[in-house]
A and B are shown apart, each in its own frame.
Chain A
Amino acid sequence: MIEILISASFWAAVLRIASPLIFATMGELICERAGVLNLGIEGIMVIGAFAGWMAVYLGLPLWGGVAVAFCAGALFGLLHGVLVVPFGLSQHVVGLGVTMLATATAYFAYRLALPQVTTPPKIVPFQSWEVPVLSDIPLLGPALFAQTPLTYAAFACAGLVAFVLYRTPLGLAVRAAGENPAALEAQGVSVTGVRVGAVMVGSGLMAVGGSFLTLSAFSSFFFEMVNGRGWICIALVVFGAWRPGKAVLGALLFAGFDALQIRLQQTPIGAVVPYQLFLMLPYVLSILALVAMSRRAQVPAALMVPYAKGER
């Protein structure tokens, strides 16, 4: 156990596993801070994983793939946003519908593009990039500073989201849309516009999180590769009390347990305990995290409350 925890490869794996979760958790956090629950997250991660991979497979550079994934996510975000914000439809039902539609669209398009493949074709994914000087630090260097560019981008994204949310007028508008939309409207800002915009950007980030799986972690697109990560991110937003910094900590903690369970499977404990039990850990932990935070959570006041201009 101690041996695992002091190895650089373990901590490198923690950052790697956390990266897609950080992108998607930031995406969901933006949506929810603006007052919209986005259960489309799971499917949007699937479409991001597929669209990013497909774009690179067809010849785009890797960052082009990331951009395509963002746009594909934003498009499904637009669908979710339009249905639940101006039309005020059930955020639960529409979100689940968006997840089903986005997932089915990715699978349909994959089969359409590659009808007869048995082994999924590969692309050349992001390679790890060692930060000069810093990566030479013993232990810390190979753990923190020999990651793929998309992992650095995940942490930069979290910093950017925190900055925009708390230090800019735009972030104030997003938070107001989720806390007190009437006050925002009184300032002459369109609540509908802010909410739909937030859902689009947030969904774009979710899709980028999905594309991490195909463009950085693996080199192919598999069915069911997202495997509940989206739902885990919804739990991480609650666990992080709707704050970017705490949510990143939650993602790291979660990734730590995930990296640990993979390694514990190879120890003598793994020989006795069935491997399914280890694989259950992430989901069980997410539920426990929700229970632990249930009393203290600072839910945005207008989360899931549709806003109609002029109504009280």
Chain B
Amino acid sequence: MRLEPVANPTLLRQLGLPALALAATVLVAMGLALLAGANPFAVLGQILTGALGSRLAVLETLNRATPLIFTGLAVAVAFRAKLWNIGAEAQLYAGAIIAVLLGTGALGAPFVLPVSAAVALLAGAMLLLVPVLLKVRLGVDEVVTTLLLNFIMALFVSYLLEGPLKDPMGMGWPKSPALTPDARLPRIVDGLRLHWGFGIALIAAVIVWVVQTRTTLGFEMRAVGSNIRAARFAGMPVNAVLVKTALLSGGLAALAGWSEVAGAKGHLSLDLSPGFGYTGIIVAMLALLHPLGVVVTALFVAGVFVGADAMSRSAGVPTYIADMLLAVALLFMVLGIALTKVRVVRG
């Protein structure tokens, strides 16, 4: 058995294989439901209605998608240049810390929101700059350093919430004081529980798309990602491109934390992110690293999580089914995309 390249993949092949990957994921979902002793069709139906069945459900899905759009964009930008930023979780918390530092009375309206957003962006960028400088200067693999920084950051946040940033009125819970009303992101439509973080996420996706497709930097990022040696040979400032990519990626991930604190929660706690940084990897890969695709896949992934939560309450299938399905979807999709370009032949 060996692989043979497919010269001109047909449209059927290009669309059929990813569709097949999604269909296979649905089959796995049904299998897991059977394993848990539930009716597979009922489980699928409950996930769907849990995510989209009511106005409340749709709003919950949109809210859950907001940080995922940011982290998905952060990963998509980095992975496109083959910069393996697995540290979106840490960068997210960097942005969240800034939102608290500047949003609890240090600044008033109208400066607090734009300034804290800008500083959050910078903080996330700086946090990713360290591993990337270690990579370009010393050749230290960024996968492990960015991963380890996630654990360091989690402990740092824990320290802040039990020390300098502890809410004196928090009844002993490790959480920060609440943001002032000026520092909160307003709702997009009065009366609908959806904050402007979602709108900013959409704008960010469009900006990233423009940068990637319409600017020299975007071209250089793709060149570095597809063949770093060729890019270097062509005289591209490869290291500078990687640093710029890191600044953009880290900044986007930080905005996820900033918007969760300023928009959704109003304070910082240790459970601010249930792994949004890691889930961003799934969001980006399912979108094939396309910035506008990230919006679609973030909504899909958020829907699976919200739907699985609702289904778990009524059908009793553990909510971790969502994490399993998304990991399965990721692996099937990567395989499916690869098989659009090669076929398996005997011999």
A interface vs B, CB < 8 Å? 39, 79, 83, 86-90, 92-94, 96-98, 100-101, 103-105, 107-108, 111-112, 115, 227-228, 231-232, 234-235, 238, 274, 276-277, 279-280, 283-284, 286-287, 290-291, 294-295, 297, 308-309
Given A88-B3, A277-B159, A280-B155, check contact A100 B326 (CB 8 Å): yes
When the two chains form the complex, which single residue of A100, A276, A295, A308 contacts B3, counting CB atoms closer than 8 Å? A308
When the two chains form the complex, which single residue of A101, A108, A286 contacts B32, counting CB atoms closer than 8 Å? A108
Q: Is the interface of A mostly helix, strand, loop or mixed?
A: helix
| Cα–Cα, bound, A90→B321 (Å) | 25
A111 surroundings in chain B (CB, below 8 A)? 318-320
Cross-chain contact B151 with A93 (CB below 8 angstroms): no
20 residue pairs bridging A and B, Cβ less than 8 Å apart: A39-B143, A88-B338, A96-B281, A97-B327, A97-B334, A100-B282, A108-B323, A108-B324, A111-B319, A115-B316, A238-B144, A274-B162, A277-B155, A279-B155, A280-B152, A280-B155, A283-B155, A290-B145, A294-B138, A297-B139
B86 interface hit (Cβ, 8 Å):
yes
A107 surroundings in chain B (CB, below 8 A)? 318, 320, 323
When the two chains form the complex, which single residue of A88, A97, A112, A235 contacts B144, counting CB atoms closer than 8 Å? A235
Cross-chain contact A89 with B334 (CB below 8 angstroms): yes
B151 surroundings in chain A (CB, below 8 A)? 227-228, 231, 280, 283
Given A286-B144, A290-B141, A291-B138, check contact A83 B335 (CB 8 Å): yes
| Cα–Cα, bound, A256→B134 (Å) | 26
| Cα–Cα, bound, A83→B334 (Å) | 9
| CB of A82 to closest CB in B, whole Å | 9
Residues of B270-313 contacting chain A, CB below 8 A: 278, 281-282, 285
B199 interface hit (Cβ, 8 Å):
no
Count the A-B residue pairs with Cβ separation under 8 angstroms: how many?
A: 127
B interface vs A, CB < 8 Å? 1-3, 32, 35-36, 79, 84, 86, 134, 138-141, 143-145, 147-152, 155-156, 158-159, 162-163, 278, 281-282, 285, 316, 318-321, 323-324, 326-328, 330-331, 334-335, 338
| Cα–Cα, bound, A252→B143 (Å) | 23
B338 surroundings in chain A (CB, below 8 A)? 87-89
Cross-chain contact A104 with B324 (CB below 8 angstroms): yes
| CB of B297 to closest CB in A, whole Å | 14
Cross-chain contact A100 with B285 (CB below 8 angstroms): no
Cross-chain contact B138 with A295 (CB below 8 angstroms): yes
Cross-chain contact A238 with B141 (CB below 8 angstroms): yes
| Cα–Cα, bound, A201→B32 (Å) | 27
| Cα–Cα, bound, A103→B278 (Å) | 13
| Cα–Cα, bound, A310→B266 (Å) | 59
Cross-chain contact A101 with B159 (CB below 8 angstroms): no
What 4 A-B pairs have minimum CB-CB distances, sorted nearest first?
A104-B323, A111-B318, A101-B327, A100-B327
Cross-chain contact B318 with A112 (CB below 8 angstroms): yes
B318 surroundings in chain A (CB, below 8 A)? 107-108, 111-112, 115
When the two chains form the complex, which single residue of B1, B156, B316, B327 contacts A276, counting CB atoms closer than 8 Å? B156
A274 surroundings in chain B (CB, below 8 A)? 159, 162-163
Most buried by B among A86, A104, A294, A297: A104
| CB of A236 to closest CB in B, whole Å | 10
A90's closest neighbor in chain B, by CB?
B334
When the two chains form the complex, which single residue of B139, B145, B148, B278 contacts A100, counting CB atoms closer than 8 Å? B278
| Cα–Cα, bound, A107→B322 (Å) | 11
| Cα–Cα, bound, A97→B1 (Å) | 25
| Cα–Cα, bound, A108→B134 (Å) | 37
B138 surroundings in chain A (CB, below 8 A)? 291, 294-295
Cross-chain contact B324 with A105 (CB below 8 angstroms): yes
| Cα–Cα, bound, A17→B148 (Å) | 18
A286's closest neighbor in chain B, by CB?
B148
B329's closest neighbor in chain A, by CB?
A97
| CB of A41 to closest CB in B, whole Å | 11
| Cα–Cα, bound, A162→B203 (Å) | 54
Most buried by A among B36, B148, B282, B321: B148
| Cα–Cα, bound, A79→B328 (Å) | 11
Cross-chain contact B3 with A83 (CB below 8 angstroms): no
A108 surroundings in chain B (CB, below 8 A)? 32, 318, 320-321, 323-324
B135's closest neighbor in chain A, by CB?
A294
A96 surroundings in chain B (CB, below 8 A)? 86, 278, 281
| Cα–Cα, bound, A284→B331 (Å) | 31
Cross-chain contact B155 with A86 (CB below 8 angstroms): no
Cross-chain contact B331 with A101 (CB below 8 angstroms): yes
Cross-chain contact A294 with B1 (CB below 8 angstroms): no
Cross-chain contact B330 with A97 (CB below 8 angstroms): yes
Cross-chain contact B134 with A231 (CB below 8 angstroms): no
| Cα–Cα, bound, A232→B147 (Å) | 9
| CB of B29 to closest CB in A, whole Å | 12
A276 surroundings in chain B (CB, below 8 A)? 155-156, 158-159, 162
| Cα–Cα, bound, A280→B156 (Å) | 8
Cross-chain contact B321 with A86 (CB below 8 angstroms): no
Given A111-B318, A277-B159, check contact A294 B143 (CB 8 Å): no
B158's closest neighbor in chain A, by CB?
A276
| Cα–Cα, bound, A232→B150 (Å) | 12
| Cα–Cα, bound, A184→B67 (Å) | 47
Given A112-B35, A280-B152, A286-B148, check contact A97 B331 (CB 8 Å): yes
| CB of A296 to closest CB in B, whole Å | 11
